[in-house]
A and B are shown apart, each in its own frame.
Chain A
Amino acid sequence: MPSDSPAAGLPLEPPPPALPGRFALFVAFAKMSLAGFGGVLVFARRAIVDQHRWMSADEFNETFALCHFLPGPNIVNLSVVFGARIRGLTGSIAAFLGLLAPPFLIVTTLAVLYAHFGDVPALRRVLNGVSCAAVGLLLAVTWRMMLPLLKRREPVALVMLVVVFAAVGVLRWPLPQVLLATIPLSIGVTWLARRRRAT
Chain B
Amino acid sequence: MTSIGALVSIALAFGWLSLFAVGGAAAAIPEIHRIAVDLNHWMTDTQFADAFAIAQLSPGPNVLIVSLVGYQVAGIAGALVATLAMCVPTAALAYTVSRLLTRAGDSPWPALVQAALVPLSIGLMAASGLVLAFAADGTAAAVVLTLVAAVLAATTSVNPVWLLVAGGVLGLLGWI
Contacts and interface: CB of A to CB of B under 8 A. Distances in A.
Contacts of A115: 71-72
**Consensus secondary structure, chain B interface:** helix
Contacts of A39: 61-62
B106 to A, nearest CB: 14
Contact of B24 (A63, A73, A85, A194): A73
A135 B113 contact: no
Interface stretch (A6-14, A17-25, A45-53, A120-128): A120-128
Interface size class on chain B is 35 or more
Interface in B57-100: 57-64, 67-68, 71-72, 76, 79-80, 83, 86-87, 89-91, 93-95, 97-99
A38 interface: yes
Most chain A beta-carbon contacts within 10 A, residue among B53, B61, B131, B153: B61
Contacts of A104: 60, 64, 67, 79-80, 83
Interface in A77-110: 77, 79-81, 84-85, 89, 92, 96, 99-100, 102-104, 106-108, 110
A57 interface: no
Interface in A120-177: 122, 125-146, 149, 154, 157-158, 160-165, 168-170, 172, 174-176
B95 A84 contact: yes
Interface in B127-151: 127-133, 135-138, 142-143, 145-151
Interface in B109-125: 110, 112-120, 122-125
Residue among B110, B148, B154 with the most chain A CB within 10 A?
B154
A75 B153 CA distance: 22
Given A130-B167, A164-B120, A138 B125 contact: yes
Contact of A127 (B53, B127, B174): B53
**Chain A interface residue count: which class?**
35 or more
Contact of B130 (A106, A170, A194): A170
B170 to A, nearest CB: 5
Contacts of B110: 65, 69
A175 B160 CA distance: 28
Nearest to B144: A132
Contact of B126 (A67, A161, A189): A161
Given A38-B161, A108-B79, A140-B154, A131 B136 contact: yes
Contact of A142 (B117, B125, B167): B125
B136 A128 contact: yes
A118 B50 contact: yes
A31 B147 CA distance: 32
5 closest pairs, A vs B, by CB?
A129-B171, A103-B60, A72-B90, A136-B149, A169-B127
25 contacts: A33-B59, A33-B60, A38-B62, A66-B94, A69-B110, A71-B18, A72-B18, A72-B94, A73-B62, A80-B98, A102-B60, A129-B168, A133-B145, A134-B149, A137-B56, A138-B125, A138-B129, A138-B132, A142-B122, A164-B127, A168-B127, A169-B128, A175-B124, A183-B116, A186-B117
